[in-house]
Structures are given as structure tokens and as C-alpha cells.
A and B are shown apart, each in its own frame.
Chain A
Amino acid sequence: MSEHVIELRSATKAYGKQTVLHGVDLKVRRGEFLTLLGPSGCGKTTILRLLAGFESPTTGTVLLDGQDVTALPPEDRGVNTVFQSYALFPHMTVYDNVAFGPRIKGVGGSELDTRVMEALKTVKLDGFAQRKPAQLSGGQQQRVAIARALVNRPLVLLLDESLSALDYKLRKAMQIELKQLQRQLGITFVFVTHDQEEALSMSDRVVVMNAGNIQQIGTPREVYEQPENLFVAKFVGEINTLTGTVCAVHGDGSYDIDLFGHVIDLRARRSFAVGAEVSVLIRPEDLRIWREGEGTVEDLADLFPGTVEEVIYKGTTVDLIVRLTETRELLSTTQFFNEDDASGSLLDYRIGEPVHVDWVHGWEVILPHE
């Protein structure tokens, strides 16, 4: 048994002159929930189709459980797909849909019945066996599609944007259910989505893709907190970018960075030379807002003056768009309500109100300017 249940080795895919996948290497670990995340057209669905066998790579290899399956058609691979459109057979009952795979493998009689009903029970649809797909809601159809795939006990379950057709609440509920299902069954899931929130909340590891290349592979936390490049930083969650120049290098990995006159001592994971242009990336929730006469000023160099441009009340948070006085750049910030704040008057920002912005140093990410 190979450690990696599925492996892509330098897989490229081209349609005519258009290359949609540029030499991708991907190893999927046994039992993990891996998400391919990226904007539409980034090649994530192509990867899924390569794994399922609907497409064959122009160059490169697909390995399934250590075996080269590049030339094998989908019907001979031990993987199953939950399609974006569910692709349930409309002329068959739920039962017959789920029984389709096992019947082909020669399962019949009471064993077939047990397996089908067990799969339907897993997705809580055991009372719907005799319905036709058209009589089910979108969420129920989704579950049938999952049951139809799971009943084959696949080595890997591939899910192609499987939740995107559901409404917000149902999607949230299905996210949790899918995650529980995956944990409970221990089957490897490869999930494709363009929704970064979905990717972060469900996955063990996230593969961020853009324009046919893998940008970063990491845990949701790594991808969110330590993006390897500007694309990942900007695609996964919201982020503010300030452009600065390195003006001094301290030996211990910290740098003096000049952000339009504010020289701040920051630590970076990468090494930079003096004079290098860098992007300082700060998440909206890491920015702090100081109102007039609020708090105590320790070092004025760390504070950026600005004005409130927009106030967006979101229930649990208040989001502000702040225009920096010096560069006219816009920053988006998220302020959390503080339960301990007895006055309750905080966060009642006015548009046009002058404020100062800073952040807890160390929570920023510094990347080479692109």
C-alpha cells in the first residue's frame, strides 16, 4: 500500500494550442480531505478529470495506489465522482441509481440490498429509495449522488464543485456533513471548489491553483496565514497590500521597511537585500483602528492616518474602508465587537471620521513586490 493514494507526476494538459495544466505534481495522502481551490479556468477541474480518467494527460503520469493508471479508462479505476450537476440517472429510482455501480460488479440479492440501503442510510435518505431524482430537492439529489459514489467503496472520492448549486444555508450544512462523512468513513476526498471559505473550513490540505499551476499546498492555516505569493494571499481571504522598500537588514531576519515615510522594524520569512521592493500584507481583522483621543500613542511612526470612507455593519463585525491620508490607498478592516466594552458606544464610526490605523507587528506577511 503506497502512502499516497493518488499521485500526479508532472502532468500537463493541452487542448490544441491552449495549455490548461503546466506540469503539475500532486500527491494525495491516504484518508485526507484535499481541496483544489482556484478561480474558474485555473485547471482544478481538469486535474479532477485526469484523476477520474475522463481526460488523459498530454504528458505526465497518474498513479493510483502506486499503480500507473494513466492509460486506464474511468470504468477501470477505483475512484468515483460526485458531479457538479449530480448527474443522477433520471429514469431510475434512487435505489437503482445507488445500485448501478454494485450491480455492474456483480453484486446482487440481499448483499446488494444491504449495501444500497446502508449507503442511503449514511446520507440519511433511506426513506427515499423508491423516489425518482426529479422528486427530490437539490440537497437530497446531492446526497444521492454521494451515496451512489460511496456505495462502490472507492479508493478516492472526487467531488467537483459539488456544493455550489445549493443555497447558502444548505451549503453550510452539507459542508459539515461532508466533513463528518469523510472522517467517519476514512475515505480520501478530493474536493474542487472556487469558494475559499469552503476550502478553508473543510480541508485537511488546500491546493491553491492559478492559470494551470499549483501556487501553494498547505493546511488551511498555512495557506491563510503564510501565503507563499501574492496570488495566494489575495485569493484566499481578503488582504491589504502596502508597498514598501527595505532600508536596513538586521541579521536576525528582521528588516527596517520604509512604508511611505513610516520606517517599521518587521520580521520576514524570506531574505531581502537593502533597496528591495516588498509587499506588506495585512489581513483586515489584524488591522487596529484608533479614533481621535483613543489609546496611548507609543510610536507615531507605527500609526497611519486616514479617514473612514465606508462603514459596513455585518452583525458580528463592523467592516471599515479607510482611505490612507498619505497614499490615498484604501484599506479594509474588520472590527469585532468587544463584549467587555461596557460603554457600547464603540464601533459607531461615522463616514469621514479621521482615524489612525496600525497592526500588531508580526501578524503581517512580507513578500517580494510583484
Chain B
Amino acid sequence: MSDHALFKRVAIGTIAVWLLLFAFAPNLMVVIASFLTRGESEFLVWTPTTDAYARMLDPLYLHVFWNSFYLSAMTTLLCLVIGYPFAYLIARANPAVRPYLLLLVIIPFWTSSLVRTYAMIVILNTNGLLNTLLQSLGLIDEPLELLYTDGAVIAGLVYTLLPFMVLPLYAAIEKLDWRLVEAARDLGARKVRTFASVIIPLTSPGIVAGCMLVFLPGLGMFYVADFLGGSKTTLIGNLIQRQFLSARDWPFGSAASVTLTIVMGLMIGLYLLAAKRANAKVEV
């Protein structure tokens, strides 16, 4: 066996073993746990049942799912609206300045997002920086109720997840063939038209990638909801976390995890199907 082939086998083997041990096995355990029963003295009892899944249909938990999707969708929308112009500006900036602008996007990654979420509390508190600033400017008389609202959770999620929107968008916009924009203008298209019918469709892979990278993690970021939403806002992530750490209901927590994974998988599947359809059109 040549050195090259050996290296290939070792490299792929390592990754395969790693995934098997730390991704596949735990997930399998979660799936199994979701079909077991909660015990009095131990976490799980070997009595197979689908009770946990049945409980998911409880309006209380359906509401949690709905709320999570709503918050995550709002976050995604905001990230897209904020991130697109930003990514566009970076991609169109002077190539000499571009690396520094990208650095600005990446800098927040250098601090733990947990710490950054704590920082948000300092800003949004009743006596926090934002309220103090607004009051000193005379814009408000009474401090605003900012913390522990859905708005605060969305702000926190947007803040944490924005780079995941900006980076794929930047990659897509930077790759855009600018001559196509010139061609559109040459054919009489003004800015809005050019943007809607040429720039957006051609950067749609970046838009979809960015939305997935924001929406899917947004469903599970329990600590953001914990810190900024207080007890009022519960995401699927919080639900799962509580089942494992407080309620000690492993089967139900596992069932919620599995459901979330399936929903995410379905969404990715839908996206792939749509992408395939779009490509199939090309082949006709």
C-alpha cells in the first residue's frame, strides 16, 4: 500500500470512528431512550412505550414548538434583512478593506457566546445601558421593559447568529458575476428590478445556506432564552434541557430531541428536493 493510500485510510478511518463514537452512538442512545419509560429510582426503565411521543401532542408542548419556530423564524428574517446589505457592502468594498470588514464579522467568535449573552443583560436591564442612554437623551421618562421579553430573545439570537448569515451571503455575493448586473442595466432594468430579478436569484444559494445556519441553531439555543427571556420564553432547546437536568424525564427529553431532529431533517430534505427540482428544470 502506498503512503498516500495509507494516509487516506487512516484519515477517513479516524473520522469514521470519531463520528461513530461521538455522534452516531449518542444519537442512537437518545432514540432508544425516547421509547423507554421513566423510572422511580433510575433514569430509564426497560419498558418499551411510545408515551413520550404521545405527550408531545399536548397543546402545552405544541405551543413550545410553535413559539420556537416563531422566534427562530423572526430571528432568521431579521438576520437576513440586516445581514444582506452588510454582506453586500463587504463584497462590493475595495478588496484592500475587505479582509478587515470580514474580521469585524468574525471577532465576536473570539468570545464565548455565553459571555456575550450575559453582556446583553447588562445592556437590556431596567437600569441597563440602553435605558440609561435613552433616559439621559430625554427620549423616555420611565425605563422600558426590555429584558425578559420575546424581543430580547430575538435580539440575543440575532446578535449571536448574525455572522452565520453574513458569511455564506458574502461568499455568494462575492462570487456574483458583476457583468450580469451590467447586462440587466443595459437591458433597461433599474436598481430594484436588477436586485429582484438578477442579484437575489443568483445569490439564493447563499440566502438559503444562511437561513438554515441561523434557523436551525435558533431552535435550540436554550441559554439565550434562559438569560434574556426569563421563564416566560421557552424554546424547544429549553424544554429538552429541563427534561434532562431538572425534570429528570429522559424519555420525554429524548422524544423532544428526536422530534426536533426529524423536523430539521424534513426541512433540509424539503430544501434539497426544491434544489433538485430547480436543477431538474435545467436538465429538461
Contact = CB atoms under 8 A, between A and B. Distances in A.
B180 A89 contact: yes
B282 interface: yes
A104 B182 contact: no
A73 B182 CA distance: 11
- Which one of B185, B201, B202 has the greatest number of beta carbons of chain A within 10 Å? B185
A319 to B, nearest CB: 40
A162 to B, nearest CB: 13
Interface string B172-194: 00000101101111111110010
Interface residues of A, number: 26
A132 interface: yes
B32 interface: no
A90 B182 contact: no
Q: Which of B184, B188, B284 is the most central at the interface, judged by chain A CB atoms within 10 Å of its CB?
A: B188
Contact of B186 (A52, A105, A130, A132): A52
Contacts of B188: 75-76, 101, 104-105, 152
B202 A87 contact: no
Contact of A83 (B179, B190, B193, B282): B179
Interface string A112-156: 000000000000000000101011000000000000110010000
Given A52-B186, A100-B197, A134-B282, 5 more contacts: A83-B182, A87-B183, A100-B184, A149-B186, A149-B187
B186 A74 contact: yes
**Residue from A54, A74, A88, A149 whose CB has the most chain B CB atoms within 10 Å:** A74
Interface of A: 52, 54, 73-76, 80-81, 83, 85, 87-91, 100-101, 104-105, 130, 132, 134-135, 148-149, 152
Contacts of A73: 185
B205 to A, nearest CB: 11
Given A91-B201, A104-B193, A132-B282, A54 B187 contact: no
Contacts of A132: 281-282
Given A91-B201, A130-B284, A132-B282, A75 B180 contact: no
A87 B189 CA distance: 15
B198 interface: yes
A74 B182 contact: yes
Interface in B265-284: 281-284
Contacts of B284: 130
Given A91-B202, A135-B282, A83 B189 contact: no
Contact of A81 (B180, B183, B202): B183
A77 B193 CA distance: 17
Nearest to B189: A104
